[in-house]
Amino acid sequence: MRNHFDEQLALLNKRLTEMGAMCENIIAMSAKALLEGDSKIASKAVSFGGNIDRMEREIESICLKLLLQQQPVARDLRQISAALKMITDMERIGDQAEDIAEIIPFLGGRTGEECKSIRKMAEATIKMVTDSVEAYIRQDITLAKNVEEYDDVVDNCFTEIKSSLIRMISQNPDDSGYALDMLMIAKYFERIGDHATNIAEWVEFSVTGQHEGKAL
């Protein structure tokens, strides 16, 4: 019985890793489309989002089977519960990467390179997603805490971008449409960072039973 449970738990970890990779891919596609002003790549990113939705449903099914058909001990139960929370955040990461891609055709051929720090922000969010999922697979609290701390990098990028866009509008009001679109894109990246932080916090819960300083 335990061997079968361990096999299913290994499958869960495998699918979570795959879903994390999908999130990395869609963020990378959206960022590439943004930085190159490429609407075709943006369209591919939007289409790719369906893969993440399907993976969420598959992982949810695995988790429910583990809970209903097996008898998980406390730590296993925490790990499965954390996985269910994590896939919600991953699905939202996919949605927000899609939202970024959907804005790109409205930039009028202009690229994100005109916006200071947007490349750094995109790279930072990809790193946070990668590391948060890796922290879950390895049950690595230190890596999870590093992800939480790294969110400051994303937040600082957002502050820099907001300031640069305000200057852009003040210097050339005709750029206001572009600036507002870029501000929305930066906000989506910031939200992706927040969701990666959530994932890291659920990793801590899966290992320690503590979430945001409270025992659960």
Element (DSSP H or E) covering residue 161: helix 141-171
pLDDT tens, 121-179?
999 999 999 999 899 889 899 999 999 999 999 999 999 999 999 999 999 999 999 99
The predicted model scores a pTM of 0.91
3-state secondary structure of 72: coil
CA distance 145 to 134: 12
Q: What is the pLDDT of residue 213?
A: 46
Angle at 17 between CA 12 and CA 20, to 5 degrees: 125
At residue 4, the pLDDT reads 78
Residue 208 has, within 13 A of its CA and on its CB side, a CA count of 17
Q: Which domain holds residue 116?
A: 2-215
The pLDDT of residue 214? 42
- Based on its alpha-carbon atoms, the radius of gyration of the chain, rounded to whole angstroms, reads 19
Confidence at residue 69, expressed as pLDDT on a 0 to 100 scale: 76
Tens place of pLDDT for every residue, the chain, 216 residues? Answer: 567 788 888 999 999 999 999 999 999 999 999 999 999 999 999 999 999 999 999 999 999 989 887 777 788 888 899 999 999 999 999 999 999 999 999 998 899 988 889 999 999 999 999 999 899 889 899 999 999 999 999 999 999 999 999 999 999 999 999 999 999 999 999 999 999 999 999 999 988 887 764 433
CATH code assigned at 79: 1.20.58.220
Rounded CA separation 45/33 (Å): 9
Give the side-chain half-sphere CA count within 13 A for 214: 2
Q: How many domains does the chain have?
A: 1
What's the rounded Cα separation, in Å, for the pair 87 and 152?
Answer: 23
